């Protein structure tokens, strides 16, 4: 049987927010499919640990210090990826933060921190990578990590939800303008995914009630995102751009 993702072997990817969580998982999936990966985040020591854990010393993973909110740091990370791996075929905008508080207790600093990381950071990374693609003529797949909270509401995370809604529209705007340069821009919008951070909450009665509102009656796992990730990263999605894939167990179509 033909592997529809076989074209990934030998390509290069740059993943932001790669020091743990989803970013680390995405790196492991791509490396398993023959992709060389630049791991980017603010904490280089953690990136080096991830690189050692996932790739050993084979140079398939390269740690790169990056602050997505700073244009100079973004430019430096793109240049470092080119030096280390020869170019960028796949960009995964995974960096993200949140601020958990009632909206009347959210501060200007909270808003700026979340929007700067989740939205401005994705804009800076995408446009800088696209400029590289335009100058080299090398096709590029950009994958933004959005959220179903870009379409639905939840209490106490107003800056986060606003940033993800804007990221969905940014995905479509970039797809429109960058298609002429062989740059595809798509997004994955995960629903509630089980992590070490939220595990304790979902074991409570309130958490159990939230799970019951998901049509599939379960939380997602990191592995549930593997198929969408490989699809959008590979040529299997070569005629897709401006698409947002919800991976949420049907949460977005649940009844009120």
Residue 140 belongs to domain spanning: 6-246
Domain containing residue 227: CATH number: 3.40.50.720
In 3-state terms the chain splits into helix, strand, coil percentages (rounded to 5) of 50, 15, 35
Indicate the pTM of the whole model: 0.96
Note whether residue 160 is domain-resident. yes
Q: Among residues 160, 181, 192, 239, which one is catalytic?
A: 160
To the query of whether residue 160 is one of the catalytic residues in this protein, the response is: yes
Question: For the chain, what is the domain count?
Answer: 1
Residue 140 lies in a domain: yes
Give a yes or no: residue 251 inside a domain: no
Q: Which tens digit of pLDDT belongs to each residue from 55-79? A: 755 568 999 999 999 999 999 999 9
Whether 113 maps to a domain, the answer reads: yes
Helix (H) or strand (E) holding 108: helix 108-115
46 pLDDT higher than 80: yes
- Reported as a single tens digit per residue, the pLDDT across 158-196 is 999 999 999 999 999 999 999 999 999 999 999 999 987
- Asked if the structure places residue 1 within a domain, the reply is no
Among 97, 98, 95, smallest CA distance to 157 is for 98
Please check the confidence at residue 1 and state whether its pLDDT lies above 80: no
Q: Is 255 inside a domain boundary?
A: no
**Is 256 inside any structural domain?**
no
Helix, strand or coil, per DSSP, at residue 183: strand
**Residue 107 contacts residue 155 (beta carbons within 8 Å):** no
Domain assignment present for 192 = yes
Residue spans of beta strands (DSSP E) within 170-210: 183-190
């Amino acid at each position: 049987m033909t592997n529809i993702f076989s074209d990934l072997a030998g390509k290069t990817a740059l993943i932001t927010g790669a020091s743990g969580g989803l970013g680390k998982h995405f790196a492991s999936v791509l490396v398993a499919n023959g992709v060389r990966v630049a791991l980017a985040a603010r904490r280089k020591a953690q990136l080096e640990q991830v690189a050692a854990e996932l790739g050993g010393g084979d140079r398939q993973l390269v740690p790169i210090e990056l602050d997505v909110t700073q244009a100079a740091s973004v430019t430096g990370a793109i240049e470092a990826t080119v030096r280390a791996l020869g170019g960028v075929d796949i960009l995964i905008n995974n960096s993200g933060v949140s601020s958990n508080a009632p909206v009347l207790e959210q501060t200007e600093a909270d808003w700026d921190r979340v929007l700067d990381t989740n939205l401005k950071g994705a804009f800076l990374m995408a446009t800088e990578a696209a400029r590289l693609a335009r100058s080299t003529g090398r096709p590029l797949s950009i994958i933004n990590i959005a959220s179903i909270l870009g379409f639905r509401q939840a209490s106490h995370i107003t800056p986060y939800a606003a940033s993800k809604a804007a990221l969905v529209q940014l995905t479509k705007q970039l797809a429109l303008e960058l298609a002429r340069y062989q740059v595809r821009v798509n997004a994955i919008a995960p629903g509630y995914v089980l992590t070490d951070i939220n595990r304790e909450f979902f074991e409570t009665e309130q958490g159990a009630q939230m799970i019951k509102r998901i049509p599939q009656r379960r939380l997602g796992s990191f592995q549930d995102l593997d198929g969408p990730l490989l699809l959008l990263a590979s040529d299997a999605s070569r005629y897709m751009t401006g698409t947002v894939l919800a991976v949420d167990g049907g949460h977005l179509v649940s009844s009120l």
